[in-house]
Amino acid sequence: MGADQRAELKPPLSFALQGLCAQTGARAGVLVTPHGAVSTPAFLPVATQGAVKALTPQEVADTGARIVLGNAYHLYLRPGTEAIRRAGGLHAFMGWPGPILTDSGGFQVFSLAHLRRVEDAGVRFRSHLDGSEHFLTPERAVQIQEELGADIIMALDECPPHDASPPQLEQAVERTSRWAERCRKAQTRPNQALFGILQGGNDPGLRQRSAAVLLALDFPGYALGGLSLGEPKEVMWATVSQAAVLLPSDRPRYLMGVGSPEDIVEGVARGVDLFDSALPTRVARNGGIYTRQGRHSILNFRFQEEHGPLEPGCRCYTCATFSAAYVRHLFKSRELLAYRLATIHNLRFMAGLVGEVRQAILMGAFPAFREAFLRGYRPADATVRAEQKQRWLAARGRGPLR
């Protein structure tokens, strides 16, 4: 599809800013898609296999989530995009009426270090399910996502590790730029918004080079990729601060794979609108409960006699119905209900957090909100967090699970 043809396809997505913090660059807006509007900042729960683990679509919506992320890699391998297309597309297949964003599958493929080979034409990889060989090109990545039918789809990019050498980073930027152009040309559906992905590691010059190419392709939205892969937080935030201002102010900005509560607040402070991560649901299934004071393990003995909710004032179904002691009992007894109740609470916490952030921006009070939240919230220990991240990434290399 050439430039003239693209111009005739009115973008199926609109984005309007409603508030801006002059002091920090934090933004509040509305993202309108074919399946509904999303107030931003927004957090996207991850529905890897076409489902947010442990919850029904209605339960996800009841937490306040308005948009979810589906994983093109997993859905392509099982049950297959053709099967989903015949079912009426991913929305109908999974019973989710709201907006869906699908990633290109690139990150999952690149995490299969011992099962893939990167070429300029695309990536050859073996399925972690059955060892079958596949060839993912930019054109095929777009086709897969068009068959899935998501509202927002992602261009195929090369995601280098955080400790990649300068030549590796430069190669990834060049390849990502060429692939972005091929994705743009390959798009055929007028009712999907294709986002480009900035790469460049933590090199400001490479990030700027990547942005220049992507902006010339005039994507309706842009993502910051290649971050939160094990680099120190201060390095990540310096990169986000530098890269975000390279992007158009009238397009949504998406920070991929970032989703701890403190990171949401810090990302918004740097002008980011959209976030996704499996972290809130993954830690929930392991007994990790989000509160305004930080993340706590419900397995701790002190919750055995806690007959109040997981967090006072929380309006989620779990806190309105059950005590912390009961949820702890379910985890200790390995009852499946435990995973559901903890997941409901954590997703409600995330939706509530971005809602409060948005309101603070609109009221001109974001700097004070940011300071108060970060002062009261105790993040996970940095060393423990880094070790957990590396174990998670290593596990993804053996078979990418989200």
According to DSSP, the β-strands at 133-136 and 253-255 are unpaired
Which of the residues 157, 203, 263, 276 is marked catalytic?
Answer: 276
Comparing C-alpha atoms, which of 211, 208, 110 is closest to residue 164?
110
Residue 360 exposure: Cα atoms within 13 Å on the Cβ side: 23
Contact, 157 vs 197, CB < 8 A?
yes
Asked whether 316 and 345 are in contact (CB, 8 A), the reply is: yes
CA distances from 59 to 66, 102, 158, 308, 327 (A): 11, 20, 35, 22, 18
Closest CA to 28 of 349, 363, 263: 363
Listed in sequence order, the residues at least 6 apart from 232 whose beta carbon sits closer than 8 Å to its beta carbon are none
Helices 204-216 and 233-244: crossing angle in degrees, nearest 10, is: 40
Question: Residue-wise over 288-308: b if at least 16 C-beta within 10 A, else e?
Answer: bbbbbeebbebeeeebeebee
Cα 116 to chain centroid distance, Å, stands at 23
- From the list 103, 151, 203, 273, the catalytic residue is 103
* Host H or E run for residue 135: strand 133-136
**Tokens in use for 216?**
């010339």
Q: Is 276 part of the annotated catalytic residue set?
A: yes
What is the chain's length? 402
For residue 127, give the 3-state DSSP assignment. coil
Q: Which residues contact 383 (CB under 8 A, 6 or more apart)?
A: none
Rg (CA), the chain: 20
Active site residues: 103, 276
